[in-house]
Structure 1
């Protein structure tokens, strides 16, 4: 009986040691672990991880750049030209392992110009080759959160959908990028607040 009372008292002491605020912090920590921050651009050095690749490699005349803003965001902007069989502009990260094993997709907070962009993911460090694309529409001058499940990213090569390529493996992702194409000629601008990976899907929505 004494042993039972001892263990009961021990359990009570342990429970009392967890104050409500402690329990709240533990719950928040658990929720926070559902996401992994990849880029938040709070440091201007982060934009140095990104490179530009436009249709000039095919003779096109499109131009683009990625800048760091005073609001701690990255801005991918430029002009898409359809001349000389061109028509696309893109930016992507320097190849490195992102260690996204166990995550189910990518979250973006972006502000666009009403055009359609693509998130591009690559599982190799090559300049060319297979990439996995996911198109998303933007609303002009409106912050949006975009949820991109990995299983909905389609393998493509130079714009052609590949049928005999296996789905993307998150643990093998080495490059993250954005692309604008599909004959959307003219000036464009996509502002990027942050990029995260998630384990539980969230609905897309606009920010006020």
Structure 2
């Protein structure tokens, strides 16, 4: 109870400070840091899951590299567990942990003033997905997008427009696509379920909500024809 009240007091103090600074009147912002994976302390704020949790044989880990970046790695297995109720196997995922709630609710990121979700990553040739969970009514809903890597084996910044994420539930694309509740993003994460057995390795430096100098959320600061062509 004491920790709950302390968190609530912290949220109230932070909200008051923002009001005094008039954060809502600051206008254009380049980026909103959401998650970093640069230390063991950072990694403690992440959860790991794979089919091994239900009896499967996939191995997945999240470690810190000598260069102080997060390394999501392991070995994907399609072998089914003995439990006949499990008909599909072969997945691994990490996500940021939900922040402790207070009397003001669950702390979330307001990404509504940004156009892109940006990730600084170095990966392999596997097919990863980026996952966003919002503080919506259906907690199993995820907004997903393929993490397209142009230079596997090298560091790159991937920027995905928030409007391009697809609503899914339990891995299934939903027929009725509901707009993402971008004011209340609760967790971000990465998953692998490409149905290919074998090792995988993805390094992650940071994840941010971002604008370019040409964008202000879903509005253009300049005509979109002038925007750099390397942003998807």
Shorter-normalised TM-score: what interval? Answer: 0.7 to 0.9
Tell whether 2:86 aligns with 1:74.
no
Tell whether 2:133 aligns with 1:122.
yes
Task: From the two aligned structures, give the one with the greater helix fraction.
Answer: 1
The structure 2 residue matched to 1:33, chosen from 23, 29, 35, is 29
Of 165-174 and 137-146, deviating more is 137-146
Deviation, structure 1 residue 178: 0.5
Tell whether 2:189 aligns with 1:186.
no
Deviation, structure 1 residue 60: 2.2
Tell whether 2:149 aligns with 1:146.
no
Q: What is the CA–CA distance in structure 2 between the aligned matches of 1:78 and 1:203, rounded to whole Å?
A: 34
Q: What is the CA–CA distance in structure 2 between the aligned matches of 1:40 and 1:124, rounded to whole Å?
A: 21
In our comparison, the structure showing a higher alpha carbon Rg is 1
Tell whether 2:106 aligns with 1:95.
no
Deviation, structure 1 residue 128: 6.1
Deviation, structure 1 residue 168: 0.9
Q: TM-score normalized by structure 1?
A: 0.75
Q: What is the CA–CA distance in structure 2 between the aligned matches of 1:132 and 1:147, rounded to whole Å?
A: 15
Deviation, structure 1 residue 123: 0.9
Deviation, structure 1 residue 112: 0.4
Q: What is the CA–CA distance in structure 2 between the aligned matches of 1:131 and 1:147, rounded to whole Å?
A: 18
Where does the alignment leave 5 or more consecutive residues of structure 1 unmatched? 1-29
State the match for 1:3 in structure 2.
Answer: none
The SS at the match of 2:52 is: helix
Contact 2:126 2:194 (8 Å CA) reproduced: no
Tell whether 2:120 aligns with 1:109.
yes
Contact 1:76 1:189 (8 Å CA) reproduced: yes
Deviation, structure 1 residue 182: 2.1
Q: What is the CA–CA distance in structure 2 between the aligned matches of 1:134 and 1:116, rounded to whole Å?
A: 11
The SS at the match of 2:44 is: helix
Deviation, structure 1 residue 204: 4.8
Where does the alignment leave 5 or more consecutive residues of structure 2 unmatched? 1-25, 81-87, 100-107, 216-227
Q: Structure 2 vs 1, CA of residues 183 and 152 (structure 1 numbering), >3 Å: closer, same or farther?
A: same
The structure 2 residue matched to 1:52, chosen from 48, 51, 54, is 48
Of 128-137 and 112-121, deviating more is 128-137
Q: TM-score normalized by structure 2?
A: 0.68
Q: Structure 2 vs 1, CA of residues 45 and 172 (structure 1 numbering), >3 Å: closer, same or farther?
A: same
Paired positions, count: 176
